[in-house]
Chain A
């Protein structure tokens, strides 16, 4: 069965009426999964397809349920039309969602935001959306969502990274310093654990002339985390695309974002998670270089990652500051 036939057969079963699928186009080539834009009976839709269930983070069913839950809490998320983990429709697990028009490619998002003069609005909207998301308690999350367990999220996250750091090929004093900084300033468990998205950033957003329209890619959502983990991730320098002085996604400074988030915004935790996120990215890049060197992934992009660790080291030094 071809892709168009598979999607129309699936939607016919969902909708109980004949469905004509047309205008299939790959809308973005994610590294892990395909996003196919198409029309069905006059509706603009997107199919998100995993090539194989073996490489999923969250199962498609859990991701679909998280999207439905977040949308019900007022987070802008494209409406889910249906999902299936049966390979018979399109060759792998997938879900279908409504197509939301707007920009998703970071530099094009920033161009639009500059042209419309809506940087502060988008940052504020991100704060509001994230606060809505963090009203979801772990107990309300889908049963099989990824989970680190009930402990202190910061402690568990740092422990996992410290193990990865020990496996690096050579010592990097800046990373050792960051690890120590993070250990000495480890925050307590948050007063309220919340469901976290873990990858809200410029590049996983749909933005239109009126501002933020949708938050995408819920594949890495976790049942229980520190809300400031999400807040810090969107603020990392690598998602600013050269607008370095606009901390939130290259859109605006942290003020409109924090104002949108509300009274639960915690600057001290925010700062800890920024150092953590940058440290995590540095370890990830060094790990990619390691995979190149040990032969498990001989690709030049992986090799080049080894020379990008120093960017994260610079960011870490600036985040920690001379006075610690």
Chain B
């Protein structure tokens, strides 16, 4: 059963409350924690919208890379083992991880991947 407001909309409401009202009402010692909490609500709100597609992309990128057909957690485990053993091609792994990382950043810290230098 789907409700409105849905999860993403509720997370946005929580973020707005923290940002617009709670921040101004708490003592300075608590403001950083409130700011962090609001940011986490925003992260979850974005995750709601972006993660399903991102997970599919990650799964197919890793399946191509590892040649195994488990779920995403299994793919990650296999890739991790291959890297530890040294049986991998750095450019191929790098390409896949950069793609996954971009998707993760779109949720956790949009814009962070704009800088591609050292």
Residues of A within 8 A of B (CB): 170-174, 176-177, 180, 237, 244-245, 247, 271, 274, 299-301, 303-304, 307-308, 310-311, 313-314, 317-324
Number of chain B residues close to chain A: CB under 8 A: 32
User: Which residues of the partner chain A approach B95 to less than 8 Å between Cβ atoms?
Assistant: 322
A322 partner residues in chain B, CB cutoff 8 A: 90-91, 94-95
11 contacts between A and B (CB under 8 A): A171-B77, A173-B80, A176-B80, A177-B93, A237-B115, A300-B37, A304-B36, A310-B104, A311-B112, A313-B97, A322-B95
- A314 proximity list for chain B (CB < 8 A): 101, 105, 112-113
B45 to chain A, nearest CB (A): 13
**CB contact list, B79-118 vs A, under 8 A:** 79-80, 83-84, 86, 90-91, 93-95, 97-98, 101, 104-105, 108-109, 112-113, 115-118
B34 closest partner in A (C-beta): A300
Kindly state the separation between the CA atoms of A173 and B91 in the bound complex, as whole angstroms: 14
- Nearest CB in chain A: distance from B6 CB, A: 22
Residue from the list A170, A172, A307, A318 in contact with B43, Cβ < 8 A: A307
Q: Contacts A173-B93, A314-B112 given; 16 further ones with Cβ under 8 A?
A: A171-B76, A174-B97, A176-B83, A177-B94, A180-B84, A244-B117, A247-B118, A274-B118, A300-B36, A311-B109, A313-B97, A317-B94, A317-B101, A322-B90, A322-B95, A324-B90
**Inter-chain contact A171/B117, CB cutoff 8 Å:** no
Let me know if B60 is at the binding interface, CB within 8 A.
no
B33 and A299 contacting across the interface, CB-CB below 8 Å: yes
Contact B97 A317 (CB under 8 A): yes
| Cα–Cα, bound, A321→B79 (Å) | 19
Task: For B91, give the chain A residue with the smallest CB separation.
Answer: A322
> Which of B's residues lie within 8 Å of A, judged by CB?
32-33, 36-37, 39-40, 43, 76-77, 79-80, 83-84, 86, 90-91, 93-95, 97-98, 101, 104-105, 108-109, 112-113, 115-118
Contact of A301 among B33, B101, B117 (CB under 8 A): B33
Complex Cα–Cα for A244 and B116 (A): 9
**Chain B residues closer than 8 Å to A171, beta-carbon distance:** 76-77, 80
Please state if B116 and A301 are interface contacts (CB–CB under 8 Å).
no
Bound Cα distance A244, B111 (Å): 12
